[in-house]
Amino acid sequence: MCELFALNSNAPASAAFSFSGLSERGGRTGEHKDGWGMAFNDASGCRVFVDAGQACDAPLAEFLRRHPIPACTVLAHVRKATQGAVALANCHPFQRECFGRHWVFAHNGDLKDFRPRLDGSYLPVGGTDSELAFCWLLQQVRRAFPGGATPRWPRLAPVLARLLPALARHGVFNMLLSDGHALYAYGATRLVWLERQRPFGRARLLDGGLEIDFSATNHDTDRMALVATRPLTDNEPWKAFEPGDLRVFFEGRSVWRQATSDADDRRDEAALAAELQSAG
């Protein structure tokens, strides 16, 4: 499996503190030593850093901890390979362009018997179930908005809420997705989240023990939401996703939530599952 982290904020923010904790789990305090990656994606542009080494001691990871890149949305991933070799091409986050925006995607889990019908608009480069799921997801999103106009999150979220449970039927599927505007987080089995805003206090990493005083590094108007596989700090109120929750974060706030258990969604899910199975 793998571990996920994301930050979404209302102004460009550094994720270097959180990444310090996550990257300890990439080979030192955790077993996720089969590659790592970090994406910075907002209106200014998109930068994705991937590396097939260990996040805990890779020179590029050290560079990113020492030279924070402020961004409104940040995704990070440390990998423990389940499907696909230990290779650069299999490191998350994956990146594609859709509707004239860069999209980034990271996955924790393991999908079985997942052989979707791909029309060629997005094809995987590496050999992971994760990149395959991302390609299928963007293909379906593009089909859902055939005019090519960029959907904002209020239109996109219900579409994702219909698509994601079909993926989760194939195994463990926790994921992070962002088009540089909103952050979409789907927690089939385990994800936690947290909002930080004024009054900012102190926080201490569970891994590595680094401490920070957010009141010294943030403005009063700053607001951010964080998502992770497991809590990264030991003194903040991390909250668990309900199994099957899709949450949307925008400008540093949790703005939308839909649970798979909502009865109305079951019919659509079944149709999608049938489509996926027929592609096998």
Give the range of 58-66, 109-117, 183-191, 241-249 binding a second copy by CB under 8 A. 58-66
Residue among 5, 19, 36, 49 that touches a second copy (CB under 8 A): 49
- At 24, give phi and psi (nearest 5°): -60, -35
Whole-angstrom CA distances from 38 to 65, 174, 201 are 11, 17, 26
Cα separation, 164 vs 102, whole angstroms: 20
Among 2, 56, 98, 135, the one annotated catalytic: 2
Q: Which of residues 113-172 bind a second copy (CB under 8 A)?
A: 120-126, 142, 148
Q: Which of residues 98-117 bind a second copy (CB under 8 A)?
A: 99-102
Residue among 44, 215, 221, 235 that touches a second copy (CB under 8 A): 44
Cβ proximity of 126 and 70 under 8 Å: no
Cα separation, 34 vs 53, whole angstroms: 6
Nearer to a second copy, 69 or 255 (CB): 69
Cα separation, 161 vs 137, whole angstroms: 11
Helices (H) and strands (E) counted in the chain, each on its own, are: 6, 15
Instruction: Respond yes or no: is residue 72 known to be catalytic.
Output: no
Residue among 10, 14, 70, 89 that touches a second copy (CB under 8 A): 89
Q: Taking CB under 8 A as the rule, does residue 11 contact a second copy?
A: no
Residue among 14, 29, 95, 197 that touches a second copy (CB under 8 A): 95
68 Rama sector, left if φ>0, alpha if ψ -120 to 50, beta otherwise? beta
Minimal distance, residue 151 CB to a second copy, in Å: 14
Total residues contacting a second copy by CB under 8 A comes to 33
Minimal distance, residue 45 CB to a second copy, in Å: 3
Q: Taking CB under 8 A as the rule, does residue 217 contact a second copy?
A: no
Whole-angstrom CA distances from 252 to 11, 84, 132 are 8, 34, 29
Closest CA to 4 of 200, 184, 229, 226: 229
Cα separation, 183 vs 127, whole angstroms: 25
Q: Taking CB under 8 A as the rule, does residue 31 contact a second copy?
A: no
Minimal distance, residue 37 CB to a second copy, in Å: 10
Chain contacts with a second copy (rule: CB under 8 A):
44-50, 52, 59-60, 63, 67, 87-91, 95-97, 99-102, 120-126, 142, 148
Catalytic residue IDs = 2
